[in-house]
Structure 1
Amino acid sequence: MAIEIFLKNEHCEWLDVIAPTAEDLKFIHERYSINHLLLEDTIDANHLPKFEKVDDVLFFLMRENTELERKNLNSISDVSTKLGIFIFDKTIISIHRMNNKSVQETRLEVNKKAETITKEDIALILALKVMKSYDDEASHLMDSLEHLEDEIFLKNTSNTNQIRRLYRLKRRTGLNMRILNMSSDWIDKFKILDLEDSETVDLKDKYKDVIADFDHLNAQVTTLISMFLALSDQKANQVMKLLAIFSVYFLPITFIAGVYGMNFEIMPELHLQHGYYYVLGLMLLIEIVIFLYMRKKKW
């Protein structure tokens, strides 16, 4: 069975369940009388963050950012993993589908004060750890963004891989923002727990900081994508400008060469002794005039 008792004292009991099976959920339902629909929510990989209260059971469904690098970024499960927390009586139960960094860090922290810790304290620490995972993600994405900026503007390199990396940053930022925006509900519900106001304020402040970081990051990524596309257009325009300059120089002399290349039996200047040199001189004169004109116009 995947159920493990992490802590037990006179104030509370903390049970942790990892990758629960149907039998595990049935056991929890029968043992603690938790609504089976709430238990089913904990195994739905793409379930959104929420808070529910059924009878005397408080259910917090959080989503922690995951450090796993996924090829596809199509859903919130590609950037996060669920953490369900049930609070009732003197018991707190945490349920998650994979090894959870927040749970392990919280376990180490509460073991240092195992005799006095309460279920509300454990829930608050878990919530803060979940928010910290997004704080770490924001820092990681910002470092990646700054590295891309250096490549594009300082090293002056441009390739298709850069726009793909920018797109992935945009997708990761957007998915994390979606999760955070929907997490405001369960964040607000911490005020109903038996906690000090200052403790719940710390959680809300951390949440606001993370939201602000991702707002800034999203704006930075959007701006960088626009600048990257503008820079690509500028380089394309420079190429077109160079081709246009070549066209201006060669079009007149190509026209002259085309005229004198026509195969008519009777043509003016056809039998001139120095006609070849006259035509070359005319071509050179035209090129000089074009060059002086462009220089005067500062083209």
Structure 2
Amino acid sequence: MRKIKYKKGRKVQPTFLDYTGVHKNTKTEMQLFVYDTNDLTEFKEFTTAQLGKCISLDKVNWLNIHGLNDTNIIKSVGDFLQVDNFMLGDILNTTKRTKLDEYHDVLFFNIKSLLPVENSDNIAVEQISFLLKNGILVSFQEKRSDFFTHIRERIRTHSGIVRDKKADYLLYLLLDAVMENFYITIENEEDRVEELINLSKTSTSPQILEQIEKHRDNFNFLKRSIIPLRDSLYSIKSIKDDNVFNTIEHDNYSFFSRLHQKCLELLEQIEYDLTSLDSASNFYFSAQNQKMNQVMKTLTVVSVFFMPLTFIVGIYGMNFDNMPELHWQYGYFMVLGLMFLLLLGMIYYFKKKKWY
């Protein structure tokens, strides 16, 4: 699980831009889509020098950036959109929680994309940020991925209504695509939890409890990632009549309400899965207690079997002179026989009472 790290340099140099993520070797690349209902232009190898020439304000402009290592490119894009440095800092600082903000007609939105790591119980985290202003939508990804491949194809093939809508609808589609990763991650976690529940019924290995706690941490991390997203989407949903978010058209607020509803569904599912993990933990401890009880029961039965035999041996081990049984010719065999019969009698009685 990622932890927030304090960097003193940010306090000394508030305008200093530094990428804090883990994808340090990813080259910064850009791709631009300029489209409307009738026309589409795609720039696959876009540079900041083309910003003023290729951006068309009477159309929808989607600039997608992969890799955040080149802060000069990020700064140039920010200067073109007249974005304040604190927003650029939030884009580059991947430890920030999900945030929605509008400042000087620029809508800023960042979100955590979570996906399961193959052949591992860990979750891969990537921060994706968006800037929306005057029909221009800029998306920032830490690395190249296929989250938005289907959206690009819909734009190229004019499928659906994406080419008929403005940039705020495109933002909705991109957010929805990122949120699909939450469903994939939760489904993967649920498969692992189901395996753990079945395994806990047949094994009492301590590793099961470790795995249960690991997946509990994963679900809590998912919950921590979705809650601020839910709150951000609720702020759009709840103040749609106040004209606070000027970059979002009134007719498109309902789409963001759908995303808010998805967040509620995800959180409800996570709560259910956490309850399932609690049940798995309780079952594991119950199985451990049952196993311990069986061991204690066996030890108790064996101890009870030998208690009267030990008593008899203790009596004849006192070595008093006035003990007539010590001088009997067959006393030794008689005592052994008595002990054997007593043992058989106790076994029969315990068996009849079903005590073992």
TM-score category of the 2 structures, normalised to the smaller one: 0.7 to 0.9
Residue in 2 that maps onto 1:103: 148
Q: Distance in 2 between matches of 1:132 and 1:250?
A: 66
1:1-299 paired onto structure 2 within 5 Å = 2-10=28-36, 11-20=59-68, 21-68=70-117, 79-113=124-158, 115-153=163-201, 156-191=202-237, 192=245, 193-194=248-249, 195-261=251-317, 264=319, 266=321, 268=323, 269-299=325-355
The superposition leaves residues 6-51 of structure 1 with CA deviations (integer Å, 9 ceiling, x where unpaired) of 3112521111122222212221222221111111112222210111
CA spacing shift, 1:201–1:29, aligned 2, 3 Å: closer
Paired letter, 1:6: L
Residue in 1 that maps onto 2:14: none
**What is the total number of aligned residue pairs between the two structures?**
292
Paired letter, 1:150: N
CA contact (8 A) 1:87 1:93 kept: yes
Q: Distance in 2 between matches of 1:247 and 1:199?
A: 72
1:79 offset after TM fit, Å? 4.6
Q: Which runs of 5+ in 1 are unaligned?
A: none
Q: Secondary structure at the match of 1:94?
A: strand
Q: Which runs of 5+ in 2 are unaligned?
A: 1-26, 37-58, 238-244
Q: Distance in 1 between matches of 2:63 and 2:236?
A: 20
1:146 offset after TM fit, Å? 1.5
Q: Distance in 1 between matches of 2:326 and 2:229?
A: 87
CA spacing shift, 1:69–1:164, aligned 2, 3 Å: farther
1:72 offset after TM fit, Å? 9.0
Paired letter, 1:38: M
CA spacing shift, 1:290–1:228, aligned 2, 3 Å: same
Q: Distance in 2 between matches of 1:171 and 1:283?
A: 58
Aligned-pair RMSD on alpha carbons?
A: 2.5
Q: Secondary structure at the match of 1:102?
A: coil
Q: Distance in 2 between matches of 1:265 and 1:135?
A: 82
Q: Distance in 2 between matches of 1:143 and 1:93?
A: 36
Normalized against structure 1, the TM-score is what?
A: 0.87
CA contact (8 A) 2:29 2:67 kept: no
1:245 offset after TM fit, Å? 0.8
CA spacing shift, 1:93–1:267, aligned 2, 3 Å: farther
CA spacing shift, 1:260–1:45, aligned 2, 3 Å: farther
Q: Distance in 1 between matches of 2:73 and 2:350?
A: 82
Normalized against structure 2, the TM-score is what?
A: 0.74
Dislocated runs of 4+, deviation >6 Å: 70-73
CA contact (8 A) 2:168 2:252 kept: no
Paired letter, 2:321: I
Q: Secondary structure at the match of 1:109?
A: helix
Percent identical among aligned pairs is 21
CA contact (8 A) 1:5 1:13 kept: no
1:132 offset after TM fit, Å? 1.3
